[in-house]
Chain A
């Protein structure tokens, strides 16, 4: 029973992190109908930025709380900037092009960013400093759930709540929903669509950066290639929940996290990634619209 609870909680933690990345996919897809293949790389750059800032600050002897806040802030700022710039260079000139062109461009961007970090930094795995201390009040249940897991769950929940409020109640959120429903119509009623797309990329990238920081301090090491797998898994989660739907992304992430956790716990840990990929293939074949997605019909 204890093992079951342990797996359940670790699955929830995984799911929470996937959710942070999956949101970026689902929001971008909702607005411009593009699978932002480079999104995993944004998450990787977020992790790298926070790693660099945290290491510098700890060398200069800053207090732990300041390190966490500044590293998180740096990750969000730079990831958002990368997201914004990528959209301007690789996607904006392709607005009117066929979908496959934009997808190939996104794949190119992803390969480019991976190798950019590889060349500018290193190909080795780097140890990520432990930013989150072991809380004393967590002592009695520490063998089931770690302090990092708790922080991840709480942070993700807060981030989701903020995002929901932004999308539901603010002017910019309204404009985002309008753009995703009908871009031409949104333009006609005076919404600056280019700006809304930029904002979407910025919000999605910031979420990914938070995910990058959290997962790096959870696993304890980073590398230039972490973005690829995390990106694919988050995409799986987004598709599972129904791509384009924000609550769907969260639901899909939790389902994927739990599936992975239980499958590795009860079946075999060798095939951890195979489970995720198989799940992706199965959903796309049997229910491409996902759990909460809308069915789109195609017209000539």
Chain B
């Protein structure tokens, strides 16, 4: 199956990587003690690892090229996976949805499986599901790469923290305020940058995200600087005092509710006039304008709706952890949310949910791998773009199939 030429190529690659990673992987110097540590075993790992990975990489690349050439000549049908077939059937879709919801609702009460710690992790994963779905509106549907998404999340979190700290406002009052304020920020950011092309837009949003974080860090009078705000109240439950365990389970149920509501909204939004305008915008901006779609309005709607969800989850985040500081809102956080959307499949709701659960839960349960988490996220972004740009469970492009009638063909 693998020819001698392939093996030789891989051997060259592995030697190249041994050379490439030599200073960083093998040598470790301590300038204070003036000692050098030579870690030759790392070189062996690199050689063996890159040898096999290069074979796999080339094989996958080869397969991808065959597939694209097949697609271009129209031989293969659009990828219809098992999940897609289930989802296209209304009855099985309802069954799947109800059973998933039942599992989610029963989760905190499962013996052996769940503990306060587990429920907490699940809550975090659900928060990322909503964040992913929010970013999916901007990146997946409207095709605007937003690298500063975490800024809106920060706006929501700080809105609740500050209003709670200064005025003692409760969770339920601030929840809509946080969302609306974040949406407003989305419009403020969106308004001037909409003229920009895709990659410039990405960089400006990145800059915007960093500005928000730096301001929060440095404007001590306003945000209490890097030390952050603590003792934020947890969400109230009809005025009843909850114990810590109860409060955690309560927030978990809130998140389940938010996820359901978000899925409902995003799903409806996708099929609405606005949703179709977003998809048209993503596919071709100029053609979309020519069809009479108001580019400005459509883009602003995407930005502000995406930001709205981030703001809501920001409020939940502040209420859940009861402590926030600017360190929670770095660019890496934006990158994690982006990885979720990219891994799951841009524009696909089920994909984003799947992506969030995989990327957040997997590192939590594989503790040994937790420190490689960000390394893996980076690799996921690259590999997904190279081999499967549509994501694990990609959205199916709606295709209008034209079946010529007899009348049409004869004329």
A residues neighboring B (CB under 8 Å): 34-35, 45, 48-49, 51-53, 55-56, 59, 74, 78, 81-82, 85, 89-90, 93-94, 97, 99-105, 107-117, 119-122, 126-127, 129, 228, 232, 235-236, 239, 270-271, 273-274, 277-278, 280-281, 284-285, 288, 298-300
Task: Collect the chain A residues with CB atoms within 8 Å of residue B145's CB.
Answer: 100, 103-104
Return B215 CB to nearest CB of chain A, in Å: 7
Closest 7 CB pairs of A and B: A108-B381, A112-B378, A111-B378, A105-B385, A108-B382, A115-B375, A277-B207
A127 touches B31 (CB 8 A): yes
Query: B342 at interface (Cβ–Cβ under 8 A)?
Result: yes
Cα of A278 to Cα of B195 in the assembled complex, Å: 17
Query: B281 at interface (Cβ–Cβ under 8 A)?
Result: no
Cα of A101 to Cα of B381 in the assembled complex, Å: 9
A105 touches B32 (CB 8 A): no
Query: B235 at interface (Cβ–Cβ under 8 A)?
Result: no
Task: Collect the chain A residues with CB atoms within 8 Å of residue B386's CB.
Answer: 90, 93-94, 105
Return B291 CB to nearest CB of chain A, in Å: 12
Cα of A109 to Cα of B380 in the assembled complex, Å: 9
B204 touches A74 (CB 8 A): no
Identify which of B20-28, B94-102, B304-312 touches chain A: B20-28
Closest A-chain residue to B287, C-beta based?
A300
How many A-B pairs with Cβ below 8 Å? Answer: 176
B27 touches A281 (CB 8 A): no
Query: B327 at interface (Cβ–Cβ under 8 A)?
Result: no
Known: A271-B214, A273-B210, A277-B210. A284 touches B338 (CB 8 A): no
Task: Collect the chain B residues with CB atoms within 8 Å of residue A119's CB.
Answer: 371-372, 375
Task: Collect the chain A residues with CB atoms within 8 Å of residue B339's CB.
Answer: 108
Closest A-chain residue to B28, C-beta based?
A121
> What would be 30 A-B contacts, judged by CB atoms less than 8 Å apart?
A49-B23, A52-B29, A56-B36, A59-B35, A74-B23, A78-B20, A85-B17, A90-B385, A99-B198, A99-B199, A103-B202, A104-B381, A109-B381, A109-B382, A111-B378, A111-B381, A112-B378, A112-B379, A114-B378, A115-B372, A115-B374, A117-B24, A120-B21, A120-B24, A232-B203, A285-B193, A288-B196, A288-B197, A288-B200, A300-B286
Known: A120-B24, A127-B31. A284 touches B389 (CB 8 A): no
B214 touches A274 (CB 8 A): yes
Beyond A93-B386, A112-B378, 6 extra complex contacts between A and B, CB < 8 Å: A103-B198, A108-B380, A113-B378, A126-B31, A277-B207, A281-B207
Interface residues of B in 371-411 (CB under 8 A from A): 371-372, 374-375, 377-383, 385-386, 389
Return A112 CB to nearest CB of chain B, in Å: 3
Closest B-chain residue to A274, C-beta based?
B214
Provide the B177-209 mask, 1 if CB < 8 A to any CB of A, else 0: 000000000000000110111111011101110
B199 touches A103 (CB 8 A): yes
B24 touches A48 (CB 8 A): yes
Closest A-chain residue to B145, C-beta based?
A100
B19 touches A81 (CB 8 A): yes
Task: Collect the chain B residues with CB atoms within 8 Å of residue A78's CB.
Answer: 20, 23
Cα of A235 to Cα of B207 in the assembled complex, Å: 11
Task: Collect the chain A residues with CB atoms within 8 Å of residue B284's CB.
Answer: 300
A108 touches B378 (CB 8 A): yes
Task: Collect the chain B residues with CB atoms within 8 Å of residue A104's CB.
Answer: 145, 338, 342, 381, 385
Cα of A278 to Cα of B211 in the assembled complex, Å: 8
Task: Collect the chain A residues with CB atoms within 8 Å of residue B193's CB.
Answer: 281, 284-285
Q: Which DSSP category, helix, strand, loop or mixed, fits chain B's interface?
A: helix
Task: Collect the chain A residues with CB atoms within 8 Å of residue B204's CB.
Answer: 280-281, 284-285
State which of A90, A121, A235 has its C-beta within 8 Å of the C-beta of B24. Answer: A121
Known: A78-B20, A121-B28. A111 touches B377 (CB 8 A): yes
Cα of A24 to Cα of B24 in the assembled complex, Å: 22
Task: Collect the chain B residues with CB atoms within 8 Å of residue A102's CB.
Answer: 385
Closest A-chain residue to B209, C-beta based?
A277
Task: Collect the chain B residues with CB atoms within 8 Å of residue A90's CB.
Answer: 382, 385-386
Cα of A235 to Cα of B64 in the assembled complex, Å: 33
State which of B28, B202, B381 has its C-beta within 8 Å of the C-beta of A105. Answer: B381
A228 touches B331 (CB 8 A): yes
Cα of A230 to Cα of B384 in the assembled complex, Å: 27
B23 touches A281 (CB 8 A): no
Closest B-chain residue to A126, C-beta based?
B31
Known: A74-B23, A101-B385. A59 touches B207 (CB 8 A): no
Return A111 CB to nearest CB of chain B, in Å: 3
Query: B332 at interface (Cβ–Cβ under 8 A)?
Result: yes
Known: A48-B23, A100-B199. A277 touches B214 (CB 8 A): yes
Cα of A291 to Cα of B378 in the assembled complex, Å: 34
Return B27 CB to nearest CB of chain A, in Å: 5
B29 touches A55 (CB 8 A): yes
Task: Collect the chain A residues with CB atoms within 8 Å of residue B196's CB.
Answer: 284-285, 288
B211 touches A56 (CB 8 A): no
Query: B143 at interface (Cβ–Cβ under 8 A)?
Result: yes
Query: B34 at interface (Cβ–Cβ under 8 A)?
Result: yes
> Which of A111, A112, A113, A285: most chain B CB closer than 10 A?
A111
Cα of A271 to Cα of B197 in the assembled complex, Å: 28
Cα of A49 to Cα of B145 in the assembled complex, Å: 33
Query: B92 at interface (Cβ–Cβ under 8 A)?
Result: no
Cα of A110 to Cα of B210 in the assembled complex, Å: 17
Known: A116-B24, A280-B203, A284-B204. A274 touches B215 (CB 8 A): yes
Return B63 CB to nearest CB of chain A, in Å: 12
Task: Collect the chain B residues with CB atoms within 8 Å of residue A35's CB.
Answer: 199, 202-203
Cα of A49 to Cα of B29 in the assembled complex, Å: 11
Return A99 CB to nearest CB of chain B, in Å: 6
Query: B335 at interface (Cβ–Cβ under 8 A)?
Result: yes
> Which of B196, B208, B381: most chain A CB closer than 10 A?
B381
